[in-house]
Amino acid sequence: EIVMTQSPATLSVSPGEIATLSCRASQSVSTNLAWYQQKPGQAPRLLLYAASSRAPGIPARFSGSGSGTEFTLTISSLQSEDFAVYYCQQYNDWPPITFGQGTRLEIK
């Protein structure tokens, strides 16, 4: 099973600034990595797939990079609606599909 590890657990950033979230895989997942955003009381929403491709309707301020075992989600010019929990997920080698434990992005 591929273990996904996200850091930091909580990130405090001011609106308008840049947030950088990290995700590490225990073995290579190529670029078969997705990022999800989850707000309280809502289902997760797909933000990025294939490590760097934005899902339909996702603003350009969300970008992703990385391959193999190291990945980054960058949110530029944070908006109020961006404060949420973010999960990475590998779908390179499944079953099982595995997620990171999440990063909570909070307002500083």
Partner 1 sequence: QVHLVQSGAEVKKPGTSVKVSCKTSGFSFTSFGISWLRQAPGQGLEWLGWISAFDGNTDFAQNVQGRVTMTTDTSTSTAYMELRSLRSDDTAIYFCARMGPLRGAFVPCDHWGQGTLVTVSP
Q: Which of residues 9-68 bind partner 1 (CB under 8 A)?
A: 32, 34, 36, 43-46, 49-50, 55
Residue 55 Cα to chain centre, angstroms: 13
Number of residues that bind partner 1 (CB under 8 A): 24
Phi, psi of 81 (to 5 degrees): -75, -5
What's the closest the beta carbon of residue 101 comes to partner 1, in angstroms? 5
Beta bridge partners of 12: 106
Binding to partner 1 by CB under 8 A, coded x per residue (else -) over 62-91, reads -------------------------x-x-x
Gyration radius (Cα) of the chain, Å: 13
- Cα separation, 47 vs 19, in Å, equals 15
- Point out which residues bind partner 1 (CB under 8 A): 32, 34, 36, 43-46, 49-50, 55, 87, 89, 91-102
